[in-house]
């Protein structure tokens, strides 16, 4: 399949994220989001009134309140009226919408942000409400249970074993020691089974957090950032709805999205994978054909901080930030949503060669 080649160059020019914490009772959603918004504006020197399009991602079910995103909008300076949109899912999909908006030429800059406060509720129970309401939701299978079914399928297939999963957990949290925003930096015990075969260490922390990026097109991007992270391609795909129809050891939707995003045209040096569970990294590495030469989740990934609805956008942001810093020349970023890697988004980011 031929990758789609965008006509207009669009780049991520700034990225910021909050310090991810188990609870943020002292902050409302807008109070949590605002510092992150101000940080990306500061990085670019833009004012809120300079932004051409704003798009956010979040979920009312986390806060237990309808239209909760409208409150967070106060933080972007939404009056006088702005061009704005919202996705009820991870902010990576908000970034996709903003990217399309810039590709059409309707805007030259976009602010994308997302946030999740999982602390008010029980996120394992809350996430059951996104499942098929006829066949699954009445059984309340929680997010860890569904991931554990996938992990067992991988073990049965011989695709991994428990020591290998533990090594993924250890590597991720070790890498997170260099990430000042991470919730679980440094070594952790692998712990007891939460839902066998997944141990506590195989599962992401539950926490609150927010992230924001600024996108810009063409020369505007070059003005705002010394080394923009150009989005060479981006695509998102979904698996069949029913879990029992799928081969849980594979992620054909990730592979297809990567193909359409042009990920296989040249090697990548970095991959930020949204794999909240260790076993999901195994699935994604296989689907994306990543070998040991690729630096996977140098940020620590979702195993070190997984603010639901922001963790996918953070993967795109972390990959872009590595390009901004000159640590990467061609990076793959992946975001997921739904049980067992139901939906997958892949972006390919590149930095232009430059003298450091």
* 142 touches another protein by CB under 8 A: yes
Given a contact cutoff of 8 angstroms between Cβ atoms, the answer to whether 305 and 314 are in contact is yes
Burial of 93 (0-12, 13-18, 19+ CB in 10 A): buried
Tokens found for residue 112 = 């994308």
* Minimum distance, C-beta of residue 119 to another protein, in the bound complex (Å): 8
* 174 touches another protein by CB under 8 A: no
Counting residues that bind another protein (by CB under 8 A) gives: 64
Nearest to 299 by CA among 230, 233, 227, 211: 211
- Sole binder of another protein in the list 158, 244, 291, 354 (CB under 8 A): 244
Output 77 or 218, the one with its CB closest to another protein.
77
* 45 touches another protein by CB under 8 A: no
* 129 touches another protein by CB under 8 A: yes
Strand partners, 345: 236, 335
Output 90 or 239, the one with its CB closest to another protein.
239
* 121 touches another protein by CB under 8 A: yes
* 133 touches another protein by CB under 8 A: yes
Given a contact cutoff of 8 angstroms between Cβ atoms, the answer to whether 13 and 44 are in contact is yes
Output 84 or 269, the one with its CB closest to another protein.
84
* 164 touches another protein by CB under 8 A: no
Task: Using alpha carbons, list the distances in angstroms from residue 223 to 3, 43, 44, 218, 356.
Answer: 28, 12, 9, 9, 18
* Minimum distance, C-beta of residue 142 to another protein, in the bound complex (Å): 6
* Minimum distance, C-beta of residue 339 to another protein, in the bound complex (Å): 10
**Residues 7-36 close enough to bind another protein by CB under 8 A:** 25-32, 34
Q: What is the CA radius of gyration of the chain?
A: 19
Binding region for another protein (CB under 8 A) out of 91-99, 139-147, 172-180, 212-220: 139-147
* 182 touches another protein by CB under 8 A: no
- Sole binder of another protein in the list 1, 67, 80, 292 (CB under 8 A): 80
Nearest to 301 by CA among 291, 288, 314: 314
CA dist 133 and 139 (Å) reads 10
* Minimum distance, C-beta of residue 187 to another protein, in the bound complex (Å): 24
Strand partners, 208: 21, 117
- Cis upstream peptide for 218 (omega within 30°): no
- Sole binder of another protein in the list 161, 186, 189, 193 (CB under 8 A): 193
Given a contact cutoff of 8 angstroms between Cβ atoms, the answer to whether 282 and 159 are in contact is yes
φ, ψ dihedrals at 214, nearest 5°: -120, 135
Contacts of 353 (CB under 8 A, 6+ apart): 329
Binding region for another protein (CB under 8 A) out of 242-250, 265-273, 298-306, 323-331: 242-250
Site residues (CB under 8 A) for another protein?
25-32, 34, 37-38, 48, 61, 63-64, 71, 73-80, 120-122, 124-126, 128-129, 133-142, 145-146, 148-153, 156, 193-198, 240-245, 248
């Amino acid at each position: 399949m031929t990758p789609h080649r965008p006509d207009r160059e669009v780049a991520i020019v700034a990225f910021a994220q909050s310090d991810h914490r188990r609870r943020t009772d002292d902050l409302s959603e807008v109070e949590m989001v605002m510092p992150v918004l101000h940080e990306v504006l500061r990085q670019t020197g833009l004012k809120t009134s300079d932004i051409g399009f704003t798009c956010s991602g979040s979920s009312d079910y986390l806060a237990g309140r309808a239209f909760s995103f409208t409150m967070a909008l106060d933080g972007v300076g939404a009056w006088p009226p702005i061009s704005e949109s919202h996705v009820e899912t991870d902010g990576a999909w908000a970034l996709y919408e903003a990217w399309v908006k810039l590709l059409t030429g309707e805007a030259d800059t976009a602010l994308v942000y997302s946030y999740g406060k999982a602390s008010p509720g029980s996120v394992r129970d809350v996430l059951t409400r996104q499942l098929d309401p006829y066949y699954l939701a009445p059984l309340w299978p929680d997010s860890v249970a569904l991931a554990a079914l996938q992990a067992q399928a991988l073990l049965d297939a011989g695709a991994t074993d428990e020591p290998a999963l533990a090594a993924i957990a250890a590597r991720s949290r070790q890498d997170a020691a260099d990430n000042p925003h991470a919730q679980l930096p440094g070594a952790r015990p692998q712990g007891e089974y939460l839902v066998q075969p997944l141990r506590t260490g195989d599962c992401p922390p539950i926490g609150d957090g927010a992230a924001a990026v600024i996108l810009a097109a063409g020369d505007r991007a070059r003005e705002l950032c010394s080394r923009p992270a150009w989005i060479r391609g981006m695509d998102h795909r979904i698996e069949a709805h029913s879990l029992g129809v799928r081969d849980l050891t594979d992620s054909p939707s990730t592979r297809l999205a990567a193909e359409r995003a042009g990920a296989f045209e040249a090697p990548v040096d970095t991959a930020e994978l949204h794999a909240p569970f260790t076993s999901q990294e195994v699935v994604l590495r296989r689907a994306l054909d990543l070998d040991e030469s690729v630096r996977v989740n140098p940020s620590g990934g979702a195993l070190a901080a997984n603010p639901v609805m922001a963790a996918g956008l953070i993967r795109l942001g972390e990959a872009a930030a590595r390009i901004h810093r000159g640590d990467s020349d061609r990076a793959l970023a992946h975001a997921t949503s739904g049980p067992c890697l139901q939906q997958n988004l892949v972006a390919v980011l590149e930095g232009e060669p430059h003298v450091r």
